[in-house]
Amino acid sequence: MSLGPVMLDVAGPGLDPAERERLRHPLVGGVILFARNYSTPEQVEALVRDIHGLREPQLLVAVDHEGGRVQRFHDGFTALPAARRLGAIHDENPGRARRLAQTAGWLMAAELRAVGVDFSFAPVLDLDRGLSQVIGDRAFHFDPEVVADLAHACMTGMAHAGMAAVGKHFPGHGGCAADSHTALPVDDRRYEDIYAEDVLPFERMIHYGLAGVMPAHVLYPRVDAQPAGFSRFWLKEVLRGRLGFQGVIFSDDLAMEGAKGAGDVVARGRAALAAGCDMALICNDTAGAERLLEGLGAHDDPVSHLRLVRMHGRAATTRRELIAGADHREAARALRQLA
């Protein structure tokens, strides 16, 4: 069985029989975890092991674990600084900021890999323009070159811990105020301006070997009539064509308000995949997830499957060995001072 094009969530710290059955559906390819799925490192490790044991190849297990405001696991995990804290350090000492960004990427990935999580949806490549509250300090900086510099360091650290990186939110969520969780943000800038500024970190990171990209539920009406996550222009012509991206494209959550203009949940899933996404996320909507699995129809894309299997985490140390190591102690001490 190949990995399907749908990523779902689960309700709690363990799987119930209905969830086990749902995750065995051939259209499912992954699970995203939230804070409600976590109580202790031992508990979440058992949950991930259970998910991985359901089928072969193993379902991907992901989490949003950027640091700052967006960190799903806390007790037993190191508190990571918001990305913008590293950007502020870069203004005074770029070399130190790069070292800290690499340390943060390594520590985040090492702690997640030690409990079996395959990858985090990180780093954020948006620009902090002072407009978007939902992005805000999740962005490294307002300067795209600084964002690319620090994101590259973060990705290098993640790779050393056996984790692939996913950059978000293509082509950039920082140019509008609305939150796509609750509305459809609209960015009225010209394509040339977006490409020269907001797309630059993505271009740099693709050159460095970025494995995954998540597009934004943002409408750029002077460029295309569809939000980026449903836009063939943004995903196929720009991301795949002009930028040469060969990795995985993950949709943002199809249950978000910014996605609902594409129709019902089945229409949204079909539109995201048709536009170029390899995997569509549906979160916090069990009924919607079931409708998507029932209505999406057969999906067999060998190229997408090959891309997806590359997102599996690579060899990781055990949590006990990780915590006992000097590298972990030193990294945690350095980052706690920032967080």
Over residues 52-106, the pLDDT tens digits come to 999 999 999 999 999 999 999 999 999 999 999 999 999 999 999 999 999 999 9
Query: CA gyration radius for the chain?
Result: 19
Pick the catalytic residue: 179, 181, 285, 305? 181
| 116 found inside a domain | yes
| 172 found inside a domain | yes
pLDDT of residue 262: 66
Residue 241 in contact with residue 194, Cβ under 8 Å?
no
pLDDT of residue 218: 94
DSSP label of 80: P
List, in sequence order, every residue forming a beta bridge with 32; answer none if it has no partner.
62
Q: What is the mean pLDDT of residues 290-308?
A: 91
| 66 found inside a domain | yes
Interval 157-216: pLDDT, tens: 999 999 999 999 999 999 887 767 777 889 999 999 999 999 999 999 999 999 999 999
Higher pLDDT, 132 or 33: 33
Nearest to 248 by CA among 199, 307, 194: 307
Side-chain-side CA neighbours of residue 179 (13 Å): 6
The number of beta carbons lying within 10 Å of the beta carbon of residue 77 is 20
143 annotated as ligand-binding: no
pLDDT of residue 278: 97
50 annotated as ligand-binding: no
In the chain, the percentage of residues whose pLDDT exceeds 90 is: 87
pTM over 0.75: yes
pLDDT of residue 33: 98
Q: Tally the domains of the chain.
A: 1
The number of beta carbons lying within 10 Å of the beta carbon of residue 34 is 16
| 217 found inside a domain | yes
pLDDT of residue 336: 86
pLDDT of residue 36: 98
Strand residue runs (E) in 111-183: 119-120, 166-170
| 1 found inside a domain | no
Reported as a pLDDT band with limits 50, 70 and 90, residue 337 is: confident
To the query of whether residue 181 is one of the catalytic residues in this protein, the response is yes
Q: What is the mean pLDDT of residues 134-147?
A: 96
260 annotated as ligand-binding: no
168 annotated as ligand-binding: yes
Residue 187 in contact with residue 218, Cβ under 8 Å?
yes
Enter the tokens of residue 201.
Answer: 């970190």
Q: Does residue 319 surpass a pLDDT of 70?
A: yes
Q: Does residue 1 surpass a pLDDT of 80?
A: no
Enter the tokens of residue 157.
Answer: 């650290």
Helix axes 83-92, 144-160, angle to 10 degrees: 120
| 104 found inside a domain | yes
| 147 found inside a domain | yes
Q: Does residue 261 surpass a pLDDT of 80?
A: no
φ, ψ of residue 71 in degrees (nearest 5) = -145, 110
| 68 found inside a domain | yes
CATH number at residue 56: 3.20.20.300
20 annotated as ligand-binding: no
Q: Which domain holds residue 30?
A: 6-336
pLDDT of residue 260: 72
Pick the catalytic residue: 252, 278, 312, 328? 252
